[in-house]
Amino acid sequence: MSKSRVKSRDRDTIVQALSAGVVPRTGLHHIQVGRRLEIEAAVNDIGRIGDNGSAVRFIIGEYGSGKTFFLHLVRLIALEKRLVTVHADLAPDRRIHATGGQARNLYAELVRNLATRAKPDGGALASIVERFVADAAKEAETSSTSPDTVIESRLESLRDFVGGYDYATVLNAYWRAFESGEEEPKAGALRWLRGEFATKTDARKAIGVRTIIDDSSIYDHLKLLAAFVRLASYEGLLVVCDEMVNLYKLQSAQARNANYEQILRIVNDGLQGAGGGFGFYFGGTPEFLMDTRRGLFSYPALQSRLAENAFASDGLVDLSGPVVRLTNLTPEDLFVLLQNVRNVFAGGDPGNYLVPDDALTAFMQHCNERIGDAYFRTPRNTIKSFVQLLAVLEQNPDTDWQPLLGQVAVNPDQDDDALQDESDPDGEDGLTSFRL
């Protein structure tokens, strides 16, 4: 582990995020443990997207294996590489394909979370559109042509895409509204781009476009979005969909298959390198992948694409396939992770370490006694408690860590999934439901 200095801003962000039990927004490289090959693969993917290529990955891991952390890390890397990212968790009302507006919901959620490096927390759509339009206006100024013409010519390439014509129309409308200083058409254009129009009539009234982004066209519009962000001088678009298990939970086989068909399109485009500077990262549980009745493997075309090299033989790693398997942490992983957290707390200076290595094992032992092996398999609460322990020690420098340890409360982590789906009797921890 590089014991380089940790910036105080990073340090605070990390500490804050960890104590809240969420993935830190920045400074992930200070605490990342292992997964070198997976991360290298992700970096390569992002490089390929930046080169107008494509990528698709399924990040498969059990609850607590760090799917979300990994996806987040990938997203941050993508942002750092000047990609635009959109991300969303799938949910019963957010799917890739639907007929009742659920797919549009997903699209809306994705675009709501559209992030750039400058706006990593999402909501960057307006910024990108304005940046694009402003660039065009500026170019118009220098070349003494009308901004309309520049925008038209720049958007020319979009017209090759499905629905590209209307896309260009909407962007034009935005420019015109800006010029005329009208806020309403501007907002309308952004609403359209966010997929917030539920009916075509509304869209026509607001901005005079006859189509809307609807359930059947969200993949096409994601492609358009990818093309557009490249026009706005970003490197590409990374789409991150987590909690894919929600598709697996769809009761209707027809609905499931329709979604899997869309995923097949994405996988085909991604694996064939169809280009376009965009990539997809999906996060899901093993059953989402492997269940032969309801998982991806129930869709033969997907199965054949995803099963090969699902894991390479002879213990060799093969990440050329689209499936990346994440294991749950081991006690050793956790130990290194605790060391990293300690290092972050000390600002990267070993002289400032608040506790010795012994305390780390003692802490693990303590957690083990409280919650069993969940302490390393689903480490969220373990880390949370550890950060709190360090915080107390930091604020009370004279305190000895040993007596404090006994007072640390660790609760078993709970599967969000199980909470969402109360009908599922096999939820990981039945006690949780009672407490609710």
Site for another protein in 292-351 (CB under 8 A): 292-293, 295, 297-298, 300, 303, 307-315, 317, 325-328, 330-333, 335-336, 339-340
- Going by their DSSP bridges, the two strands 323-326 and 54-61 should be labelled as parallel
Residues 70-109 that bind another protein (CB under 8 A): 76-77, 80-81
Tell me how many residues contact another protein (CB under 8 A): 87
Our measurement of the distance from residue 233's CA atom to the centroid of its chain's CA atoms, rounded to an integer in Å, reads 22
Range in contact with another protein (rule: CB under 8 A) among 15-23, 88-96, 134-142, 161-169: 134-142
- Residue 240 binds to another protein (criterion: CB under 8 A): no
Sheet with 54-61: strands ordered across:
83-89, 236-242, 278-284, 54-61, 323-326
Interatomic CA distance for residues 237 and 251, integer angstroms: 31
CB of 368 to another protein, least distance (A): 6
Interatomic CA distance for residues 182 and 347, integer angstroms: 50
CB of 317 to another protein, least distance (A): 5
Of residues 22, 43, 206, 391, which one binds another protein by CB under 8 A?
A: 43
Tokens of 269: 């485009």
Nearer to another protein, 76 or 238 (CB): 76
CB of 325 to another protein, least distance (A): 4
Q: Of 88, 85, 89, 87, which is closest to residue 115 (Cα–Cα)?
A: 85
Interatomic CA distance for residues 398 and 373, integer angstroms: 32
Sequence-separated contacts (24+) of 181-189 with Cβ below 8 Å: 189/129
Range in contact with another protein (rule: CB under 8 A) among 21-29, 106-114, 150-158, 193-201: 21-29
Nearer to another protein, 56 or 344 (CB): 344
Range in contact with another protein (rule: CB under 8 A) among 3-11, 150-158, 164-172, 268-276: 3-11
Q: Of 79, 85, 84, 73, which is closest to residue 30 (Cα–Cα)?
A: 73
CB of 108 to another protein, least distance (A): 19
CB of 361 to another protein, least distance (A): 6
